[in-house]
Amino acid sequence: MFRWKATAAVAVVAALALTGCAGGGETTNSSGEGGKADRLTLISIAAPTSYDIGAGAEWGNRSEFFEAVFDTLLRKDSSGEIQPNLATEWSYNDDKTVLTLTLRDDATFTDGTAVDADAVVGSLERFRDGTSPQAATLAGKEFAAVDATTVTITQDAPDPSLENLLSIAPGLVQAPSSFDDENSATTPVGSGPYILDSASSVTGTTYNYTANPDYWNKDAVTYENLTINVMEDTTAILNAVKAGEANGAKIADNNTISEVEGAGWTIESNELDFQGLLLLDRAGTMAPELADVKVRQAINMAFDREALLQSLQSGYGTVTEQVFPATSEAYDEALDSTYPYDPDAAKALLAEAGYPNGFTLNMMSTPAFQQTFDLVAQQLADIGITVKYTDPGTGNFITDMLAPKYPATWMALEQNPDWQLINFMIAPNATFNPFKYQDDTVDGYISTIQNGSEDEATTAVKELNKYIVDQAWFAPFFRVQGTFATDANTNLEFWPTNAYPSIFDFSPKN
């Protein structure tokens, strides 16, 4: 039962205590050259760490910075479907171990050099061998330039996520002339729709861009200038919205939505992240109790998900008991009713597992999300599980989780497309499977998803999802509403597959 009054949730980025800066004066969408609007001003909650794709390329809440100056090989449209971009055609060989890409022949980098197969291969290798957070997604893949407009990607086994990867950070193409440039981190050379105006930009705070006059797809560019201001403080974002200092803004705190709407802005949303418990030590090597599926199921029944959603997110989101997103082939609405909130039934399950008096569970906490951690401990205490928290420090939270130093933890994670999610959270070597837990049934499903026919893979991913829900690998609480707002002058088609909108999906209202 809840014993906590609902209060405003703390945004993740605000918790990092990063600083932001408001943009300039009031924005308009007045007409510029060629019928384009003069300027689009956006608010982002995270600055790029480096424009060098081998060092800092990311998507998510930083995608707008990279999409402005670089092209990807493929791209997603506003419905999330894969479309041509630098690559106009692509096809697999029979066993899906070789993907052949045909490149357009009219794209140039802003240094005047051609976007050809050698540049694409160099960029793919740079990303694969670099330190970007997603570098491992290209591990083991080999790239070759067959001729000036043909590239092959060879892999040991099929990768159902490859086309999607080529539409996000791993698919970014950087001019080879900048690979060895010591200024590449702050002065990008790409073939994208905009050119960064480094002279008027302030790293970490304000990024100004001008339209690329030689861009191969001029019709897709609807603004002559682009400004992205970084503000990680939720109050600063709200004040900028109210003052009309932007056309679009990532809303980091859903508790401010009513005030944003009151300022005359339109809210767009999607649900990409879930919050809940990761029951990592399923073999019981650190916490023997978690090896029993009845214990994991009891933990799932301990949580009043609706109350958690209201208390922590003011109701902005959807309760769930599965880690696969609603857009997935794996998703089954019926699975969200697997574990009703029932402390008495949870206690009975613990007793059946041999823990009638409960047990103590070691987990991490961090002050930035103290309300969340207190509520988790409170609800588990109601079924007899005592949580012993350790604060490893904000900078060590992920590191200690993946070491691994704790058998379970609260976490917010992105619900990736199916194959990426499997390799992110479920497979034996997945990043967020730090105990390398392996299950023969799960391995069988994964093999079918990777190597089977389309119909076989679809059936297998559905069965995989049901199995890990029934086996209580995780205890999800809810999917969080990701929110983006636009002013009265701006149209937006908010894609369902990324935290930040595509810059191609903004347009001025007539």
Q: Which domains does the chain have, with CATH numbers?
A: 12-265+487-508 (3.40.190.10), 274-479 (3.10.105.10)
- The answer to whether 274 touches 477, Cβ cutoff 8 Å, is yes
- The answer to whether 371 touches 9, Cβ cutoff 8 Å, is yes
Distance from C-alpha of 372 to C-alpha of 9, rounded to nearest angstrom? 9
**pLDDT exceeds 90 at position 26:** no
Peptide bond preceding 407: is omega within 30 degrees of 0, i.e. cis?
A: no
pLDDT of 497 reads 86
Residue given tokens 């999917």 in the structure block: 479
For the segment 343-357, the average pLDDT, to the nearest whole number, is 98
Distance from C-alpha of 12 to C-alpha of 289, rounded to nearest angstrom? 31
Distance from C-alpha of 122 to C-alpha of 151, rounded to nearest angstrom? 11
Distance from C-alpha of 70 to C-alpha of 204, rounded to nearest angstrom? 19
**CA dihedral of 397, 401, 407, 408, whole degrees rounded to 10:** 60
Q: What is the pTM of this model?
A: 0.83
Q: How confident is the prediction for the chain on average, in pLDDT?
A: 92
Q: 329 to each of 153, 161, 376, 486, how far by Cα in Å?
A: 26, 14, 30, 31
Angle between helices 454-470 and 440-451 (to 10 degrees): 160
What pLDDT, in 10s, does the model give residues 66-89?
999 999 999 998 888 999 999 999
**pLDDT exceeds 70 at position 257:** yes
What pLDDT, in 10s, does the model give residues 442-453?
999 999 999 999
Distance from C-alpha of 72 to C-alpha of 191, rounded to nearest angstrom? 9
- Mean pLDDT check: name the lowest of 246-250, 388-392, 484-488, 506-510: 506-510
Counting beta carbons within 10 angstroms of the beta carbon of residue 179, is it exposed (0 to 12), middle (13 to 18) or buried (19 or more)?
A: middle
Query: Cα 74 vs. chain centroid, distance in angstroms?
Result: 18
The closest of 302, 469, 480, 478 to 387, measured between CA atoms, is 302
Q: What is Dmax (Cα atoms) for the chain?
A: 74
**pLDDT exceeds 80 at position 4:** no
What pLDDT, in 10s, does the model give residues 311-329?
999 999 999 999 999 989 9
